[in-house]
Amino acid sequence: MSTSLPTRPRVFLDVQSGFDFLGRITIELFSDKTPKTAENFRAICTPPSSAQPLTYKGSRFHRIIDEFMIQGGDITAGHGTGGMSIYGPVFEDENIGWREIDAVGLVCMANRDKGTNSSQFFITLAPCQHLNAKHTVFGHVIKGMDVCGRMAKVQVDKGDRPLSEIGISHCGELQPKPRSNEAHPFPSKRRDSERSEAGETRDTAGTVNDLYHLVEEATPGLTKTAVAAPLLDQCLHKITHRDLHGRNVVIADVARLFLGLGLRSDQDHPT
């Protein structure tokens, strides 16, 4: 008798340094092992609302140590002294020690001591067994360790703080891929894939979404249509320059998307 594996939620973090889009980190959450901690992270990755106003969007990675870990998630102070959870300022450790911190790409809660989890987290760049039973392991990177690797190589100061700001430009929860008979949110005659600079295959619709949010982040107070063409062309060149055909497919989708936006609204971003 076969047993089905639990369905674990997946979330993403889009990482950016200035105008440079470094890539997307996709994380699978161990909701079957650490349900409370996984739900905290999942919720803060999703768009904020009146009921749940917390978000990782716009926060930064404030501590990076090559061959050890990258740390972020301080959504209140931004430099490692703050944080907030969906349960309040802090919450208790959950199922701590259920597995060793013995691999690259584990996502763990950062804390000051026992029972001080909030929103801060770190991603391991090497096995860290000396941290076993000290931090809750609640997820692992399933795509985007190349992004973490590039982040690990940035210059930092004596306190391991990046000299150039590296932040989360967009984040969210990934839904299961639609079946062949289900409509896709960005319909296209062809749903080709393109290669990013790191060689990671990315779906056309996902790339269009990324570029849309890059424009929103980079151009506050300006109309979408006024800046879309030059900025999108720059972003597209960086993301899809290795695949000319894929680039053309994305350009067509982006043009259609922004034409629709332009028809509906050409107003400045609300303040």
* CB 23, CB 178: distance < 8 Å: no
Query: CA 170 to CA 59: how far, in whole Å?
Result: 10
* CB 70, CB 148: distance < 8 Å: yes
| Active-site residue identified among 10, 63, 170, 213 | 63
| Active-site residue identified among 68, 132, 234, 241 | 68
CA proximity to 254, closest of 218, 213, 219: 213
CA proximity to 12, closest of 207, 251, 247: 207
Query: CA 108 to CA 115: how far, in whole Å?
Result: 14
Annotated active-site residue 112? The verdict is no
| Active-site residue identified among 13, 22, 131, 211 | 131
Query: CA 103 to CA 9: how far, in whole Å?
Result: 20
Query: CA 20 to CA 239: how far, in whole Å?
Result: 10
Annotated active-site residue 131? The verdict is yes
Rounded (5°) CA angle 247-242-28: 85
- H or E element at residue 124: strand 121-124
| Active-site residue identified among 135, 202, 213, 247 | 135
| Active-site residue identified among 30, 41, 61, 122 | 122
Annotated active-site residue 16? The verdict is no
| Active-site residue identified among 16, 40, 71, 117 | 71
Annotated active-site residue 155? The verdict is no
Annotated active-site residue 12? The verdict is no
- H or E element at residue 228: helix 224-240
| Active-site residue identified among 40, 111, 117, 120 | 111
> What phi and psi values does residue 254 have, to the nearest 5 degrees?
-65, -45
Residue in the structure block whose two tokens are 């969906």:
86
Annotated active-site residue 71? The verdict is yes
What is the set of active-site residues? Answer: 63, 68, 71, 111, 122, 131, 135
